[in-house]
Chain A
Amino acid sequence: MEMSHDKEQYIYTSNHLQDTEALAAWLADVAIPGTVIGLDGDLGAGKTAFSQLFAKHLGVKGIVNSPTFTIIKEYEGRLPFYHMDVYRLSMDEADELGLDEYFYGEGVCLVEWSQIISELLPEPHLHLFMETTGIDERKITIRGFGSPYEDWCCNLNKNGVFKS
């Protein structure tokens, strides 16, 4: 029955990297053990930049670089941070990698190119879709699926974070 109603989607307009950082910081602040965030967008949309800012605000020290080659990179912040990039995988291959241990673990998962493995993501999750609208401008579409992600979106909205 959850499947039958349309999930509300919110649009976050980022005029420069600082705006993206504000969103990343807000999400890093509310993240709890087991948080799963899917992150999609074309090459160059700013997924890795968003991930780095999110990691910084989650308290990860040092460099967070691209996990494309190794698929998963683990870091220690306020909570364990699992940075994934499934660009090189198919659904079947991802299934055999045992990602559930991360998704249902004690840390925070941020999955770049998550739509490739959409069926493997836990039903409750937050999804961000980034689009390039100018050199520095980005449109970020945010959808919350289940608890607590729908509430996060509501709270972001109430705080006047969404610009349209």
Chain B
Amino acid sequence: MSEHKIEEQPCYILAIETSCDETAVAIVKDGHVVMSNLIASQIETHKAFGGVVPEVASRKHVENITLMLDEAVTASGIKMTDLSAIAVTQGPGLVGALLVGVVAAKSLSVALAKPLIGTHHIAGHIYANRLVGEIHYPCMVLVVSGGHTELVYMKQEGQFEVIGRTRDDAVGEAYDKVARSLGFPYPGGPHVDKMALESEESIVLPRAWLEPGSYDFSFSGLKSAVLNVINQRKMRGDDMNPAAIARGFQESVVEVLVTKAIRAVKAYDVKQLLLCGGVAANRGLRAELSRQCDKEGIDLSIPPFEYCTDNAAMIGAAAYLKWREQYFTSLDMKADPQLSLEAWGSNSID
């Protein structure tokens, strides 16, 4: 559509994502066509530790990155010299992990004399939706992952306003901690989802609505409620039925997320609701959000599973916003573990 007026030549962005436990490299054409998308999943290594282990992650990123760069270019069918720009996740994330990607991207940028685009990880998750279709602005985004639970209002392309966020635990983190306390294997989140969907019984747990009108979230009270149920049953010597607890937990989480997202959609009078982040792969959440959006006549966009969890194609999609503005990042850019989404959107990172 309009991008053809601005860019006659195709734009090929090579994107690198190393903010947490995945080394990922992708090549994306014009911000929405995925030419290649590679993820060196380290999930086997992490299972032994029962979680994401940052140091292991950094070392693994170093071992993976050059091979991944080569493979991504080969798989895309284009040449290194055809690239238009190099994009990399600048933050937020674990500093040691981010640094590996940032150093690789800078080196490539210098070697190929192509501009560098520092990209925000959450903007990436949001723009994963661009890989499956047009985004209609203004829109509302529900970001749900291991480190984030946010409602983001986007008045127009590239403009972000965080209207709600978690006050304590992120939703993915709550899933992991509940999974651990129920003795489920890693990764805990998908296991809770599976048990919840299979269970016929449900233990009713509290919903944290916070004060009226708030778009913030809180999951630590729910986590404590789960622990109380487990402890009480242990003390009484009752049967545990972890699946019923998993279902009660999932129902509480999903109801709060869906209700607040739909209230935000109505209050901000947006054209579309986008779901993104690793927890967007949760089947219970996808199903209930789809059902409610159907009922309310809300246009809902959910990326396919492979673009929900961390990947580099989404970074290429978000970086394309900056390509269109021809706004590039200087080579002294620093990985920023606390990078602000709003500041990144408005090009006001200091």
Interface residues of A (CB under 8 A from B): 42-44, 48-49, 52, 63, 65-66, 68-74, 87-90, 92-94, 96-97, 135
B54 touches A65 (CB 8 A): no
- Contacts A43-B177, A93-B55; A66 near B224 (Cβ below 8 A): no
B53 touching A66, Cβ below 8 Å: no
Q: Once the chains bind, are B168 and A65 in contact (CB under 8 Å)? A: yes
Find out whether the CB atom of A66 lies under 8 angstroms from the CB atom of B170: yes
Q: A69 with B170: in contact, given A43-B177, A49-B220, A90-B49 (CB under 8 Å)?
A: yes
6 CB contacts below 8 A, A to B, read: A63-B167, A66-B173, A69-B20, A71-B54, A88-B51, A96-B58
Residue picked from A43, A68, A71, most chain B C-beta under 10 Å: A68
- Interface stretch (choices B90-98, B153-161, B247-255, B324-332): B90-98
B52 at the interface (CB under 8 A from A): yes
Give every chain B residue within 8 A of A92 (Cβ-Cβ).
55
Most chain-B Cβ atoms within 10 A of its Cβ — which of A52, A70, A74? A70
Q: Are A44 and B224 interface neighbours, CB within 8 A?
A: yes
Q: Are B93 and A70 in contact (CB under 8 A)?
A: yes
Q: What is the bound-complex CA distance between A49 and B51, given in angstroms?
A: 23
Provide the bound-state CA to CA distance between A28 and B107, in Å. Answer: 44
Of all chain B residues, which has the CB nearest A69?
A: B147
Chain B residue contacts of A88, Cβ below 8 A: 49, 51-54
Given contacts A43-B223, A73-B338, A97-B96, contact A68 B169 (CB under 8 A): yes
Listed in ascending order, the chain B residues whose CB lies under 8 Å from chain A are 20, 49, 51-56, 58, 92-94, 96, 146-147, 165-170, 172-173, 177, 180-181, 216, 220, 223-224, 227-228, 337-338
Tell me, rounded to whole Å, the shortest Cβ–Cβ distance linking A72 to chain B. Answer: 7
Once A69-B173, A93-B56 are accepted as A-B contacts, the answer to whether A63 and B227 lie under 8 Å apart by CB is no
User: Given the complex, which residues of B lie within 8 Å of A69, measured CB to CB?
Assistant: 20, 146-147, 170, 172-173
Are A93 and B54 also in contact (CB < 8 A) when A69-B170, A69-B173, A70-B93 are? Answer: yes
Cβ contacts under 8 Å, B224 to chain A: 44
Q: Are A43 and B227 touching (Cβ within 8 A)?
A: yes
Q: Shortest Cβ distance from A139 into chain B, in angstroms?
A: 15
Beta-carbon contact of A65 and B338 below 8 Å: no
Cross-chain contact of B338 among A63, A74, A89, A94 (Cβ < 8 A): A74
Q: Is the CB of A89 within 8 A of B170?
A: no
The residue that A65 contacts in the complex, of B51, B166, B223, with Cβ under 8 A, is: B166
For B177, give the chain A residue with the smallest CB separation.
A43
How far apart are the CA atoms of A87 and B54 in the complex, in Å? 11
Q: How far is the CA of A44 from the CA of B92 in the complex (A)?
A: 26
Residue of A nearest to B174 (CB): A66
Q: A43-B223, A97-B54 are in contact. List 16 more A-B contacts (CB 8 A).
A: A44-B220, A44-B223, A48-B220, A52-B167, A52-B168, A63-B165, A63-B216, A65-B167, A66-B220, A70-B92, A71-B94, A88-B49, A90-B53, A90-B55, A93-B55, A96-B58
- Least Cβ–Cβ distance between A157 and chain B, in angstroms: 30
A8 to B181, CA, bound (A): 33
B53 x A93 contact (CB < 8 A): yes
Question: Which residues of A are found within 8 Å of B92, using beta-carbon distances?
Answer: 70
Q: Which residues of A contact B20 (CB under 8 A)?
A: 69
Q: Are B53 and A89 in contact (CB under 8 A)?
A: yes
Across the interface, which residues of A come within 8 angstroms of B169, CB to CB? Answer: 48, 65-66, 68
Q: How far is the CA of A93 from the CA of B94 in the complex (A)?
A: 13
What is the chain B residue whose CB lies nearest that of A49? B220
Residues of B within 8 A of A42 (CB): 227
Chain B residues, CB < 8 A from A70 = 92-94, 147, 337-338
**What is the bound-complex CA distance between A55 and B39, given in angstroms?**
38
Report chain A residues within 8 Å CB of B165.
63, 65
Rank and list the top 7 A-B pairs by shortest CB-CB distance, nearest first.
A69-B147, A93-B55, A44-B224, A44-B227, A88-B51, A66-B169, A96-B55
The answer to whether A72 and B55 touch across the interface, beta carbons within 8 angstroms, is: no
